[in-house]
Structure 1
Amino acid sequence: MRGERVPYGEGKARLLAAAAQWMAEHGSLAGLTLRSLATLAGISHNAIYRHYRSVEDMALDLAADFAQQLRSGLSQARDEVKSGAGPARTVVGWLFDFALAHPAHFKTAHLTRMGPPGAARELLEAQLAEIRQDMRTQLTHKKMLPEMPADDLDAALALIIENTFQLCIRCIESPQQRPALLLRAEQVFTWVLAGAALTAQRGGLPKPGP
């Protein structure tokens, strides 16, 4: 059966939804072709080329769409942290649930970060940098971050995000460990920031030589 012709914006949304469903069912985009994607999305095979020239092109949009959902959800979770409460349990708790609902996306992102340089990796790193900036802005506003130089704080937050990303992968692989992993996330958040603040008070670490 031939796919139907649909408006440009709707067609693109259908393609991304179909690709996300493929990832959820197969664990990656391996084996997916543009023609099979068009069939899954219910649009004509010719129409798909109005949107993408390759599966790799589509994967960039899929990653960007996923990253935007992730960034928006994390921001909302931080907003829900009550005054006087540690943010890690609420925010990472939401993140674990999100990871468990989208395991293929997280695993693909993990492989992308570990893989060779390229457009997908640059996109992912840029999105993580924006998430770090959101984290810094929101938690500073809530007075949940210790005083320290901006560069030191950015480095500490980057370390926390890196560790949390790894914990998400572990949570996907062993969901029954969620409570223990959540406790570990709280410990890392507290210890890294406390250590960074103490180091800054003592004058910081020696700068690398030329």
Structure 2
Amino acid sequence: LYRQKKFSEAGEAVDNLKAYWATNPPEPMPRLVVVIDEFAQLAKDYPDVLAALVSIGQVGRTLGVHMILATQRPAGVVNEDILANTNLRVALRVQSRDDSSSVIDVPHAASIGRDQPGRAYIKLGEDDINPIQTALVTANTSGSAPESMYVDEITLGDPAPEAPRMPRSEMSDLDELIVAIRDANTAHGFARPRPVWPEPLPEKVELLLPGQTRVDTQD
């Protein structure tokens, strides 16, 4: 891996990302998060790729490489190698008890109701399983909050007052978060990280033999 090579070049004692940072390297190396959506389909179509991902998961923490694996049907796909290398597991509402048990080892996520969007169970350890509430970030943001807020005193039996309607933005909360992260990165003067994959090849690639300056073609 590229990161392992850089660690080796930085010194014999450099075997993890924090030790690499301590050498004040000339090239920035941020943590890298790899997100794989519907990895069950990936495992079915490309089993060799899944094996490579498991290998990355085994050494990725020291290299600063972290993976997020997401799937709707985990039963039969989440194998022992994956479970052994995932310390944090999250299960939102699933269709079957088996799907829930495949992720968090208990069937709790199958009992989450349809009227509880975003509810999930998180597993941090053998017996450390807790319910959590996740947030929706894909809806359009409501824009800036009003400068003044009025609180009306109500008594039992009075209908709840209608909530004020806020103007909706074309940007989602996730879009707003991305902009804020980029602005913070620029404000702190952080250098742009190295791309993790090569630039795409052009539509046509000319092959030049040694000594050639042009390509001869025949109709």
Structure whose alpha-carbon radius of gyration is higher: 2
Query: Same fold by TM-score, threshold 0.5 exceeded?
Result: no
Richer in strand (by share): 2
* TM-score, structure 2 normalization: 0.27
Richer in helix (by share): 1
* TM-score, structure 1 normalization: 0.28
